[in-house]
Amino acid sequence: MNPTPEVRAEFHCHSVYSPDSLVRVEDLLAACQQKQIDKLAITDHNRLEGALRAHALDPQRVIIGEEIQTTEGEILGYFMREEIPAGLEPLEVIERLKDQGAFISVAHPFDTNRDVTHWKSGTLEAMFPFLDAFETFNARCLRQAYNDQAQIFAQEHGLAGMAGSDAHSTFELGRATMLLTDFNNAMELRAALHNAQWNVRLSAAPVHLFSVWAKIIKKVRKSTF
């Protein structure tokens, strides 16, 4: 019996359908081939359109995901079918994700340098029984201490850890990937995470300028991506 093949997976990236990225989905897919990334979760901010378009182009590689802004922090959904809007309470987002059989994680949970709202005291504790994983390494964190704090929380609560580049450019893609048993749905991903290997490194702080530049360009163009 042949062993199940392993895949290199990137679990957090953005396309032009996010307000802070200019990367076309076609360019993301081309970069995956160049960088030998077998599975790519496109997790645009509060939109599925980019992930759906990429999935239509490369269904074996692309995982349909979304980074959802709640009334507090951001939740990551994978293997989604329906878009979830921004601004809902965290537990409502989780309920909607569970209704569609999605895999649920939390993005950069302890990074206080992000230009988003942050988790209130006690919210993560209330959420963790319903989570599948916790993003314990995000390459865009300016301080490794934020990732370390997430790792400690995950270990204390028995949550699987995940890594992601949070790439907003093709340059960043692949900075934080995981090598794990091949998977094609949420259930298989849950099982595969138990023996995953990590290949991670922080991105340099200037990569955040890609996002700043994207916002400026889109404002000038009055883009509606």
Q: Is 191 helix (H, G, I), strand (E, B) or coil?
A: helix
CB 97 within 8 A of CB 104: yes
- pTM across the whole model: 0.93
| Per-chain mean pLDDT for the chain | 94
pLDDT digits (tens, 9 = 90+) for 11-27: 999 999 999 999 999 99
CATH for 6-221, among 3.40.50.300, 3.30.1200.10, 3.40.605.10, 3.20.20.140? 3.20.20.140
Return the domain boundaries, the chain: 6-221
Q: Per-residue pLDDT for 189 more than 80?
A: yes
pLDDT at position 84:
99
**Which one, of 224, 166, 162, lies nearest residue 197 by Cα?**
162
Q: Which helix (H) or strand (E) holds 152?
A: helix 144-157
- For 72-103, how does the pLDDT look when each residue is reduced to its tens digit (9 = 90+)? 999 999 999 999 999 999 999 999 999 999 99
**Greatest extent of the chain over all pairs of C-alpha atoms, in Å:** 58
Evaluate if residue 1 carries a pLDDT over 50: no
Estimate the crossing angle of helix 49-57 against helix 25-35, to 10 degrees. 50
Cβ contacts of 90 within 8 Å, gap of 6 or more: 70, 71, 72, 73, 75, 123, 126, 127
At residue 3, the pLDDT reads 57
Q: How long a stretch of residues is the chain?
A: 225
Distance (Å, whole) CA 100 – CA 102: 6
| 55: its two tokens | 């999935």
The rounded distance, in Å, linking the Cα atoms of 135 and 150 is 7
User: Which letter does DSSP use for residue 207 in this model?
Assistant: G
Q: Are 144 and 202 in contact (CB under 8 A)?
A: yes
